Chains A and B, each alone.
Chain A
């Protein structure tokens, strides 16, 4: 068989051991159909294998070679089972469910919708009692909202709100002045100088804190707010427009969308 053009002895032995790849194995199989010499050699290997394993089965080899199979403890068996790579995506999902989802649930209180930048927190006073804004429910007329925020550099901060009827309310530092904003050097969770008392307009109240590098004029902001509000009752859409088109000199805008009874 070694002198013909077909597979050699070594290839036939590897074929017999199942070592050849699919293509080579198929070629050998095809060859065996036509070459009795090679077919006979493979058959002799098969016969020898049967005779040999009958005489020297694996258990004999293991016995004379002093091979012992370790008893694996339940803990180790569990470990090897749990650390299978197939479970990794499941663990990833569990991590998301355990860590990320509770975080989102905690922040997205049903009565308060945070949108965009989360750098705006608040407390509210109802019937003389102060409540944490994160745990609020639906808000009502008379609730007093006190915002606080952080910003690392000096800036000007201005506060306004838009209700479901499109009414724009501004909160000036000096009543009757021309400016909307107050100068702030820097702040770390400091309160906004004005608070908001909710009126009886049903629906929602979009509260906007503008952080600017310059003073913002009241008239400019009012006209900008009227433009973005456009008497739209859907405050989520208004909020999107606020974010898309910030007034000039505004560095950042933080919003809070509250639902009112």
Chain B
């Protein structure tokens, strides 16, 4: 049992109501299970409750939540050794399909980056191909320069190429 003050409770409630659906959507996209996504939301918001005071005001809560939810989902997938991705990637219960090539890239990402030998590259690749964020947005949320992001993506493409996947056709 974790006890929080009424003031904290008010703040957490506000953040939960503002962000939880987006966290859920993302976790569901990773984990492919409503129950697992709900577990992920619980875990991520518990972490938020614990870290609320240490998160700097200037930092975007959303980018923090994305980062924590990524770590959670990757860790969860690693534990389950569940790296298969279905053809369809559901989006919070809707049947929104992602392009085939994107799905393949994600699969490639998961195979190559499941062991977080370079978390920064992993995050850049996921934000780019999984979330569909622009490089300038990734730069804003991660604090990396756009040139660094491009370099990480080049590294990733090279690895894909070495694995026999033609990135040029996919992106």
User: Which residues from chain A sit less than 8 Å from chain B, CB to CB?
Assistant: 2, 8-11, 13-14, 16-19, 44-45, 48-49, 51-53, 56, 58, 61-62, 64-70, 72
Task: Report yes or no: A70 in contact with B13, Cβ–Cβ below 8 A.
Answer: no
Task: Report yes or no: B24 in contact with A52, Cβ–Cβ below 8 A.
Answer: yes
Residue-by-residue, is B86-124 near A (CB-CB < 8 Å gives 1, otherwise 0)? 000001111000000000000000000000000000000
Q: How far is the CA of A30 from the CA of B46 in the complex (A)?
A: 36
Q: How far is the CA of A53 from the CA of B18 in the complex (A)?
A: 10
Task: Report yes or no: A19 in contact with B22, Cβ–Cβ below 8 A.
Answer: no
B5, B25, B138: the one within 8 Å of A70 (CB)? B5
Task: Report yes or no: B17 in contact with A8, Cβ–Cβ below 8 A.
Answer: no
A10, A13, A48, A67: the one within 8 Å of B49 (CB)? A67
Decide if B141 is an interface residue (CB 8 Å cutoff): yes
Q: How far is the CA of A37 from the CA of B115 in the complex (A)?
A: 36
Q: How far is the CA of A45 from the CA of B136 in the complex (A)?
A: 22
- Measured between beta carbons, the chain A residues less than 8 angstroms from B22 are 13, 16-17, 45, 48-49
CB distance from A51 to the nearest CB of B (A): 7
State the majority secondary structure of interface residues on A: helix
CB distance from B87 to the nearest CB of A (A): 21
Q: List 20 A-B contacts (CB under 8 A).
A: A8-B137, A10-B131, A14-B62, A17-B19, A19-B61, A45-B21, A48-B25, A48-B91, A48-B92, A48-B94, A49-B22, A51-B93, A52-B20, A56-B38, A65-B42, A65-B49, A68-B3, A69-B4, A69-B6, A70-B6
Q: How far is the CA of A9 from the CA of B127 in the complex (A)?
A: 10
Decide if B16 is an interface residue (CB 8 Å cutoff): yes
CB distance from B59 to the nearest CB of A (A): 10
Decide if B9 is an interface residue (CB 8 Å cutoff): yes
- Measured between beta carbons, the chain B residues less than 8 angstroms from A45 are 21-22
Task: Report yes or no: B62 in contact with A17, Cβ–Cβ below 8 A.
Answer: yes
- Measured between beta carbons, the chain B residues less than 8 angstroms from A44 are 91, 94
When A9-B133, A10-B137, A52-B92 are in contact, do A67 and B18 touch as well, CB less than 8 Å? no
Decide if B82 is an interface residue (CB 8 Å cutoff): no
Task: Report yes or no: A49 in contact with B21, Cβ–Cβ below 8 A.
Answer: yes
B12, B13, B18, B136: the one within 8 Å of A17 (CB)? B18
State the majority secondary structure of interface residues on B: helix
B3, B24, B60, B132: the one within 8 Å of A14 (CB)? B60
Q: How far is the CA of A45 from the CA of B132 in the complex (A)?
A: 15
- Measured between beta carbons, the chain B residues less than 8 angstroms from A52 are 20-21, 24-25, 92
- Measured between beta carbons, the chain A residues less than 8 angstroms from B127 are 10
Cβ-closest 5 pairs across A and B: A8-B134, A52-B21, A10-B137, A49-B21, A10-B133
CB distance from A200 to the nearest CB of B (A): 73
Residue-by-residue, is B37-57 near A (CB-CB < 8 Å gives 1, otherwise 0)? 010011001100100000000
Q: How far is the CA of A48 from the CA of B19 in the complex (A)?
A: 11
Q: How far is the CA of A246 from the CA of B7 in the complex (A)?
A: 65
Task: Report yes or no: B132 in contact with A19, Cβ–Cβ below 8 A.
Answer: no
When A11-B137, A13-B62, A48-B21 are in contact, do A56 and B41 touch as well, CB less than 8 Å? yes
Task: Report yes or no: A19 in contact with B42, Cβ–Cβ below 8 A.
Answer: no
B5, B91, B138: the one within 8 Å of A72 (CB)? B5
Task: Report yes or no: B46 in contact with A8, Cβ–Cβ below 8 A.
Answer: no
- Measured between beta carbons, the chain A residues less than 8 angstroms from B92 are 48, 51-52
Q: How far is the CA of A19 from the CA of B58 in the complex (A)?
A: 11
- Measured between beta carbons, the chain A residues less than 8 angstroms from B16 are 58, 61
Decide if B80 is an interface residue (CB 8 Å cutoff): no
Task: Report yes or no: B131 in contact with A9, Cβ–Cβ below 8 A.
Answer: yes
Q: How far is the CA of A52 from the CA of B19 in the complex (A)?
A: 11
CB distance from B32 to the nearest CB of A (A): 17
Task: Report yes or no: B141 in contact with A10, Cβ–Cβ below 8 A.
Answer: yes
Q: How far is the CA of A66 from the CA of B46 in the complex (A)?
A: 10
Q: How far is the CA of A60 from the CA of B49 in the complex (A)?
A: 15
Q: How far is the CA of A67 from the CA of B6 in the complex (A)?
A: 11
Query: 11 extra interchain contacts, Cβ-Cβ under 8 A, other than A65-B45, A66-B2?
Result: A2-B133, A13-B22, A16-B22, A17-B18, A19-B62, A48-B92, A52-B92, A53-B21, A65-B49, A67-B49, A68-B4
